[in-house]
Amino acid sequence: MAYEVHITRKQNWFDKEGQAITLEEWRRYAAADPEMKLDTVPEPATPQGTVRMESPGAALWAAWSKTGPRDQQWFRHFRDLITVKDPDAEVIAKMYRVAEALGGKVQGNDGEIYSADGTAPRKITPAPAPEPADSKRGWWKFGR
């Protein structure tokens, strides 16, 4: 299953309320960015062949360092945000620059916020739950 990372202005990318990134402003941005190529009918290559998608908000990041026949990163406008599937750190760093230009942030499916260098945020592991105060003494045993 693909993991998506989003450029959004909302508190959380999945919120119904909040400031939208409109299709028109996304298309203006992508047209002005020399690294982006607007393409309303992208045809990305997959192991099974080429897939044809119609999307008025699709743009290819042409400056991505990977250059294989299946190495393409599509930025897609969907509803009120920009989404990229399975981005690496380089792509997320580009997303961060786009987000800055659009007044937004880069947020993963799980709600994590990404930094300018494209690295995943530090995961905070919750501390283990403490044992009951007297659990080592066995006070709960019957027949004492």
- 3-state DSSP assignment of residue 118: coil
Segment 15-66, tens digit of pLDDT:
999 999 999 999 999 999 999 988 765 565 666 666 656 678 889 888 887 7
CB atoms within 10 A of CB 35: 14
Give the H or E element holding residue 132: none
Place of tokens 């580009």: 94
Backbone angles phi, psi at 55, to 5 degrees: -155, 115
Which of the pair, 83 or 139, is modelled with greater confidence? 83
Place of tokens 């998506």: 4
Report field, pTM of the whole predicted structure over 0.95: no
CA angle 17, 21, 27 (to 5 degrees): 160
Tokens encoding 46: 């997959």
- The residue among 4, 19, 12, 9 whose CA lies nearest residue 111 is 12
CB atoms within 10 A of CB 59: 26
Segment 92-140, tens digit of pLDDT:
999 999 999 999 999 999 889 998 888 766 544 444 555 555 444 444 4
